[in-house]
């Protein structure tokens, strides 16, 4: 199977990319407008994260991705804008000679084999993954969650955006009157500030709760902490009040847009619309840098629902991938929909957690 860029095997390890591997992957990121610094942060720090390499018969690299794998239970590949570069990364990256759908299928298959039940892939489905679906045993569910963004191409300044949102202007005044300030830091931050950022991430994940709470502390301080102090293309927008950091949203600057990566808020006090202040500032930063948009990932709260473009949203999919037919049969369409609704339903704004099966492949 080594001819024509077809993978022969997938290697799973915590080993970072070697210099020659990075060089082989860079053309793909440049073509897709992805910041090259994404190659510096995979695999993420932490005991739950690995780098997957698809290689041909001679051992030459064809593609990579990273995953969160808490074996033996579940392996997760994340494609959401929110958390995309920190926890589970955003994409599959390919070398120029790779058969991209087959590489994607091989990497997804490796994720499925590392799980007791099934592997999960949650977020947008790109063309390579969609083309790979007939090659893997899967069940694809279309959810009623959406990904949102703010189109900045029509604004010359932040004031142009604010002029369209009277309510947002009022919230910004309230934030300022309460003593809140907004700050922007580009690139890596010092360990002390990174620690304060991680405090907010931990507080927010614990606030939302759900499956995996036992992992939150390591994720906030090791995974996110490493990202905050090392990623060269980050734009951190955060709020302060009386010397305390009250809110944070960290973005990655790609070729033509900012993409939300991770963040959090102080849940022990009233932050006086810190989220809205950060949203407004993110538009100002994007316009100032000449970027086309700000991606906000999943529409999980009312603020993002209100200020991201309602007519330009992408569907969020749940892709379940199975290593054998028994696991596929035990899952079932009804159980898959119920489990998704049980975990997500009612936890976030903008959707109910309902899902429908739109593709299935019991025999790849």
Q: Rounded to an integer, what distance in angstroms lies between the CA atom of residue 17 and that of residue 343? A: 34
Indicate whether 178 belongs to any domain. Answer: yes
pLDDT at 302: 87
Residue 22: inside a domain: yes
Residues in the chain, total:
364
Q: Are residues 10 and 84 in the same domain?
A: yes
Question: Is the backbone peptide bond immediately before 346 cis, with ω within 30 degrees of 0?
Answer: no
Q: What is the pLDDT of residue 1?
A: 43
Asked whether residue 81 is assigned to any structural domain, the reply reads yes
Yes or no: say if 201 and 224 are a contact pair by the CB < 8 Å rule: yes
Nearest-angstrom CA–CA distance, 47 and 64: 18
CA torsion, ordered 40, 41, 46, 47, to nearest 10 deg: -70
How confident is the model at residue 121, as a pLDDT?
86
Which pLDDT score is estimated for 77?
74
User: Residues 227, 138: one domain?
Assistant: no
Domain total of the chain = 2
Q: What is the CA radius of gyration of the chain?
A: 20
Determine the pLDDT at residue 189.
97
Cβ–Cβ under 8 Å, residues 231 and 188: yes
222 with 353, same domain: the answer is no
Burial group, residue 242, by CB count within 10 angstroms (0-12, 13-18, 19+): exposed
**CA separation for the pair 100, 186 (Å, rounded):** 33
Contact 138, 318 (CB under 8 A): no
Q: Do 42 and 79 belong to one domain?
A: yes
The CATH number given to whatever domain includes residue 100 is: 3.40.630.30
Residues 283 and 330 in one domain: no
What is the predicted pLDDT for the residue at 24? 98
Among 163, 111, 152, 158, CA closest to 132: 111
Q: How many Cα neighbours within 13 Å face the side chain of 235? A: 24
Beta bridge partners of 241: 244
- Residue 24 sits in which domain range? 3-146+313-361
pLDDT < 70 stretches in the chain: 1-3, 71-73, 78-90, 209-214, 344-351
Q: Domain check: are 168 and 274 in the same one?
A: yes
């Amino acid at each position: 199977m080594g001819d024509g860029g077809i993978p022969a095997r997938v290697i799973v390890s915590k080993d970072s990319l070697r210099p020659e591997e990075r060089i082989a992957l860079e053309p793909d990121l440049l073509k897709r407008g992805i910041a090259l610094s994404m190659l510096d942060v995979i695999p993420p720090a932490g005991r739950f994260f690995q780098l997957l390499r698809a290689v041909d018969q001679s051992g030459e690299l064809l593609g990579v991705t990273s995953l969160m794998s808490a074996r033996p239970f579940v392996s997760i590949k994340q494609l959401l804008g929110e958390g995309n570069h920190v926890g589970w990364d955003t994409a599959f990256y390919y070398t120029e000679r790779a058969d991209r759908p087959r590489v994607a299928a091989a990497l997804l298959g490796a994720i499925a084999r590392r799980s007791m039940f099934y592997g999960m892939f949650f977020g947008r489905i790109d063309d390579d993954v969609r083309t790979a679906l007939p090659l893997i045993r899967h069940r694809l569910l279309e959810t009623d969650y959406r990904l949102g963004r703010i189109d900045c191409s029509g604004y010359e300044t932040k004031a142009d955006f604010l002029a369209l949102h009277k309510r947002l202007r009022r919230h910004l005044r309230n934030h300022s009157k309460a003593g809140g300030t907004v700050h922007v830091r580009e690139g890596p931050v010092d360990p002390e500030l990174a620690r304060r950022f991680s405090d907010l991430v931990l507080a927010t994940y614990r606030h939302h709760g759900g499956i995996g709470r036992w992992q939150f502390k390591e994720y906030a301080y090791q995974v996110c902490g490493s990202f905050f102090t090392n990623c060269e293309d980050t734009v951190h927008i955060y709020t302060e009040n009386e010397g305390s950091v009250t809110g944070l949203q960290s973005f990655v600057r790609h070729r033509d847009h900012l993409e939300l990566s991770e963040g959090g808020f102080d849940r022990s006090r009233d932050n006086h619309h810190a989220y809205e202040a950060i949203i407004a500032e993110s538009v100002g930063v994007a316009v100032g840098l000449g970027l086309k948009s700000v991606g906000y990932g999943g529409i999980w709260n009312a603020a993002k629902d209100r200020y991201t473009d309602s007519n330009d949203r992408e569907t969020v999919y749940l892709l379940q991938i199975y290593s054998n037919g028994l696991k596929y049969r035990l899952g079932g369409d009804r159980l898959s929909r119920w489990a998704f609704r049980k975990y997500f339903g009612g936890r976030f704004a903008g959707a109910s957690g309902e899902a429908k099966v739109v593709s299935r492949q019991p025999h790849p």
